[in-house]
Every structure is written in C-alpha cells, then in structure tokens.
Amino acid sequence: MKEPEVTLELAVQHGLSEEEYEKICRLLGGRTPTYSELGVFSVMWSEHCSYKNSLAMLRTLPREGKVLLARPGEENAGLIDIGDGLAVAFKIESHNHPSAVEPYQGAATGVGGIMRDVFAMGARPIAALDSLRFGSLENNRVKYLFDGVVRGIGDYGNCLGIPTVAGEVYFDEAYTGNPLVNAMAVGLVKHDQVAKAIAAGVGNPVFIFGSSTGRDGIHGATFASEEISKESEERRSNVQVGDPFTEKMIMEATLELIKKGCVVGVQDMGAAGITSSASETAAKGGVGIELDLDKVPLREQGMIPYEILLSESQERMLVIGKKGREQEIIDTCEKWDLNRSVFGVVTDDRRFRVKWHGETVVNIPVNSLAAGESAPVYERETKKPQYIDELHSFDIHSVPQPENYNNVLEKLLASPTIAGKAWVYEQYDTMVRTNTMILPGGDAAVVRIKKTKKALAMKTDCNGRFVYLNPRRGAQIAVAEAARNVACTGAVPLAITNCLNFGNPLKPESYWQFKEAVLGMGDACRVLNTPITGGNVSFYNENPHGAIYPTPVIGMIGLLDNADLATSSFFRQEGDAVYLLGENKGEIGGSEYLSVLHNRVAGDAPSIDMEFERKLQDFLIQAIHERLIHSAHDTAEGGLAVALAECCFGSKNKKYGADIEIDFADLRQDFLLFGEDQSRVIVSCSRENQAASEKLAKSAGMPFTYIGRVGGDTLTINDLILLRVAELEKTYTGAIPEMMNR
C-alpha cells in the first residue's frame, strides 16, 4: 500500500499548526516528511507526549529534595529513597478521554499503563489508587460511566493481583461531559535493581515483547490532546483494549530480566507506542536507534508503518538488551509465554530510523522528537476569568440559617461526594498480598513493607471546586490535605506526584487557571518539603457544554518507620476525650453545604496558612509517635459535623457515639459546623493521655481544644444535632447504592 502524500492540510488534520509543520520540514533538512514521519511528529509533538503547553510552567515546580533518586521526567516514574537500600517508585496518570467514550476499557488500560510505568523501573507494584470525577448520579449516562470505570479498575487490578487501597470520588455537574479517571501505582525496588528508560551501547539489540500489535489505540495520544465532541463516540478505535493476564506475565518477565542484569534499559509502550518508547530512550541515551517493522509481531493483516508505529496496543514493552545476552531475554520471554522479537539495534548517529519492506520510511533526528528539546514549548496567553470576581462578591451571609440541623447533616451524608464509597472499593481486592493495614475509607491507606518495620501511607486528593474559585489557593489546599491525610496515619509526608486536569490551554482563561494552580502547588510543596517527582498533564478536558473544574490531583506518599504506629480515623475506645486540633473560622465558600443545601457554588476558597499547616502536621505526627492519640481524622467536605459523624462509624467492629459541646463564639452555627475550614483535625485520646497531649500542644503552640467524649450510640452536638449513629451510618453507606439502583 502506497502512503498518502503529505501536505500542510494533512498536517493540520493531524493536530499540527502551520508553524509546527514548517519547523518539521526544516528539521528534516528542507524536505517534506513521509506519511509515517508525519504520524510520528504528530504524536510526539502532541500535548500528551511533548507537554508543549505545560513544560514551561512545570519547570517552576520544586524538583529537588534529599529523598529524590530521580528528577521528574528522567524515568518512567518518580523514585524516592525510604532508607535501608529501598526505594519507592510511584506515578499518577490520566485516562480521561478514553474513559469518556469507553469507560470500562478506558479505566482498565489506565491501570495497566501506570503499572507498567512502575515495574519498568524494576519496582514490584504493591498498591494502586484512583482519583475519579463524574457528573450527577441523577444522570443515566453518568451512571453508565461510573459503573464502567469502577468495574474496569477493579477487574484489571484484581486480575493483576495488586490491591487498590485508596482514592477519592467526586460528583459535580462540571464533570458531566468529561469524567476524570486518574490512576496511581506504587512499587518497591532495591536501589541496586533500579532500571532506567534509556538506550545505550552501540550494537545492543532492541526487543519488543508482550502482546502483538494491532490497530487499537492509533492516535490515542492526539485523541487525548483535543476536546471531547459529538464525534468522540465515533473514535472508539482510539481506545485501547487491555489484557491483565498478559500484563501479569509481562510484569514477572520484566522484573526477572532486570534482576538478571541482561538489559540496559526498559520502557513501557504507552502513549504513541513504539514511536515514543524507542525515540525517547534513544534521546535520553544520546544515541540513535534503528527499527525493522517487518519483525514486529502483528495481529492484523495489512498494517502499514504509520499504523504499526502509532498503535497503542496494550501490554507491550521495549527492552534494550545487552549484546551477547539475547538468548537469556528470549528464554525468559518463553518461560512467561510471551511474544518477543529483536526488531532493532542501537546506533551512534542520533537518528530515529525505521525500515519496512527494505525501505527507510522514517529518518528523523531523535532530539527533534524529545520533549523540551526540538519539540515546541509554549507559554500561552493568560486572562483571569470574569466569573472569579463575580463569585467572590457573593454575600455569604445572605444564606438563610437552617431550621433543622439534623436534616442538614443527613442530607450532607447522603451527598454522593461525601457518602461512603464502599460501593466502589468493595469491587476492588484491597487485601491481596496481605500488606494493607488501613483499608479504603480512612484518611489515607497504609501498606506494610514486609521484612521491615516500615509502612507506606498514600493518598490522592483535590477539591476541584476550590481550585475553580481560587486556582492558586485551591492547589495549595490540595497539597495540604493530601499531606494532612497522610499525617493523620502517623506517616511523614515525603513527596508527591500529580495529575493536572484542565481545559483547553489555548483559551487564556483556562491557561490562567493552570498557571495559577501550578504556582500554588509549588508554594505548598516548598513549605511542606514534599518535592514533586513527576506526573501527568491532561488538557482539553472540555466538551460543547464547557470545561471541567480545574483539577490538579495530588498523589502523596508518606513513610512510617514503625508500622505499629499506624493510626486510623475512627473512634476506638469508649470514654476517650475528643479534641479539635486547629481553629474554626466558619468559611463556607465552595463548600458542599453551600452546594447541596443552597444550590450555590460561590464565595472564595477557604483560607490556608501553609506555615501553620506544616506545624500542625508536625505536631500531629509527634503526638502519634509518642502514642498519645488513638485516632485522627481531618475535616474536609461537609466540615466539622460530617467529620465527627465519620469518626463514629468508621470501625467495622464497634460503633461509638460522641457527646460534643462546641463554643461557637461569634461564628454562625451552620458556618462553623459545615464550613470547610482548613488545617483542622479531630483527634481522640485516652483520659490518661489528656494532660500529656495538652502539654505537647501547648509547647508546640497548637490550638488543641477539648470538645467532648466518645460514648453511647448517638452523636450529639450541643443542642443542635442529636442522631443515632446507626441511622447516620445507614444514610451514609446507602446513598450511592440507592442512586445506582434507581
């Protein structure tokens, strides 16, 4: 089959601008690219692969720290040191666009892809997390997406044997047309067994192994770099199809090859498939690479080079082997019943060269494809959206006070964003590998590291509504809450990965949101000393009805040197004293209370003092390490009243009520109870430890207010709320199943 002739019009159809097409011709020495070369440039210069609209801002983020073992972008995933010769590899990525048109496979392949990023570094995955956003569950289309995404995540992770231990799910009309599906993986590796995503050693063989290559997923990277439209449903071929059982074999083979030391580099074939994995490893190694597509195992007849190079068929790996050890690689692949082929060689000319049927169809300088090098980098025009000042001017005090506080609490607990997510995580195997110490439903998951005393705490977090109202402060809050959730378990927050979900970067208002959020994220990470290890940018999360809320999801990793200190979020003992760590301010801007009870998204995001936040977390961790605290739970969506209710019914073994008495001072009662003020944690401690806890708080200068005692079977708050815990829990746990069954 003869390839089509390349024209400017065809280049534009591939998502390239006229300026970019002219630059491509210059990089090729003045000649017109072949059709295959056009395809290569179109995917490698897409936002998804090149970060051309985000890289300038990402470079402003804090990327240094004593725990970092790899700089962001250097490897497949972030890598941090946790002592004793062990490292944690972790990363989060989006699969939003595929999940919008094919939710089951979109979510499943998102899990598969992020797992490969982790085990390509030699790290065995030990946990998965997810961060999900959907529209209203009153919408049948949203129910279909929600159901498909959850089943896709569960089926893939369960088959792979990796526990899904934590995450978050938000529901808001802003995500109706564009669900967000962000998947995170965490793995462990010894320092001396870390593999790099690099090509080196002239003459070394290039292997492809795993599934055969088909036409699924072609132009998935460019599909992810444009807005969702009515035509998106017709592009299901851009969505990959996953096979978790093959992935399991690939994982074991990859880890075995790395352990044997017979490979130089390993790279997952994710977005842009063969093209990205081969060209990126060559660019990182400062070498060239030559491929022969006739040697690629195919599962469809008549595939042309363009299709083979751009296919995003799942469960495939690229390996740079060591010359002379080819047979070891072949034997290992045979052991795990995997397709494998030597289809290339490392060269010294720094060219990405591809042959097919004896002809050279691609001959490109490798650096011209590399993000941040010859690939374009833009800093787009910004404009503060008009809506922000309008929403900030809303008179919060015009909101009427409730007549029945019991009803308000029950309505908030039934709100899908707040309600229990057991319908989601009970579809996941959360205990496989038997390391999970704190299960989904708590502030953060805790996973034991076998053969050590250590454990890892992990969490994903972001309130997109806060970022919508105040991008810089909202991003600070996302980092702070992720760290606070980890600190509530007793773990020290170490580092983050991020998945930045935004609208069209070519729209000044959207790019302003992105820029401000990145600045806020950087500010918070510097104060908390949690450097950024890498992540993902997902732009173009828009549809004809508008953009999503800007949603910079934070994936936080923390370390417990002593796993025995792992602290849960729920009350654990009758008679314990209940304290509020932090201060009440009564801020309801962007709150669930304002949205659910008054149908308004308005006001400003809650205020946050990052220095105070850091001191609060330091105190909390110290108190847990001194064994003064039985439970710790941060206040988030729904505010103080919701957090107290969650403390009452978190335990599966025994439910505890609480008798709470709060000094409202000059704050409105509803604002204090349901406002989402930052830097607050509810803690419980025994009578015997009250004095020591108060003394420690005083020495640290931390507001630490006694508010009540654990006991009984009701939650009582002053004379405003009196409800049986069993009824509250029934409302909380039953809300999502009931809505899904309507």
What phi, psi does 538 have (nearest 5°)? -120, 100
> Where are the chain's structural domains?
1-56+196-377, 567-742
Query: Exposed e or buried b for every residue in 11-20, given b needs 16+ CB within 10 A?
Result: beebbbeeeb
CATH homologous superfamily for the domain 1-56+196-377: PurM-like C-terminal domain (3.90.650.10)
Is pLDDT at 692 greater than 80 in this prediction? yes
| pLDDT single digits (tens) 278-310 | 999 999 999 999 999 999 999 999 999 999 999
| pLDDT single digits (tens) 574-601 | 999 999 999 999 999 999 999 999 999 9
Q: Give the pLDDT band of residue 197 (cuts 50, 70, 90).
A: very high
Is pLDDT at 241 greater than 90 in this prediction? no
As annotated, the active-site residues are 48, 95
d(Cα 647, Cα 488) in Å, to the nearest integer?
Answer: 13
Token pair in block for residue 142: 């949203």
pLDDT at 653: 74
364-375 average pLDDT score: 91
The answer to whether the beta carbons of residues 223 and 96 sit under 8 Å apart is no
Query: Exposed e or buried b for every residue in 672-695, given b needs 16+ CB within 10 A?
Result: bbbbbbbbbbbbbbbeebeeebbe
Q: Whats the size of the chain, residue-wise?
A: 742
- SS3 for 289? strand
pLDDT at 229: 52
CATH number for the domain whose boundaries are 567-742: 3.90.650.10
pTM of the predicted model as reported, rounded to 2 decimal places:
0.95
187-197 average pLDDT score: 96
Any idea which residue has 């989601």 for tokens? 424
Average pLDDT of the chain to the nearest whole number: 93
The answer to whether the beta carbons of residues 291 and 353 sit under 8 Å apart is yes
pLDDT at 430: 82
| pLDDT single digits (tens) 298-341 | 999 999 999 999 999 999 999 999 999 999 999 999 999 999 99
Q: Give the pLDDT band of residue 249 (cuts 50, 70, 90).
A: very high
d(Cα 277, Cα 280) in Å, to the nearest integer?
Answer: 5
pLDDT at 225: 45
CB atoms within 10 A of CB 730: 13
pLDDT at 366: 95
Which runs of E-coded beta strand occur in 257-365? 263-268, 288-292, 316-321, 339-347, 351-356, 359-365
What phi, psi does 414 have (nearest 5°)? -90, -10
CB atoms within 10 A of CB 30: 7
pLDDT at 1: 59
| pLDDT single digits (tens) 376-392 | 999 899 999 999 999 99
Question: Do 1-56+196-377 and 567-742 share a fold?
Answer: yes
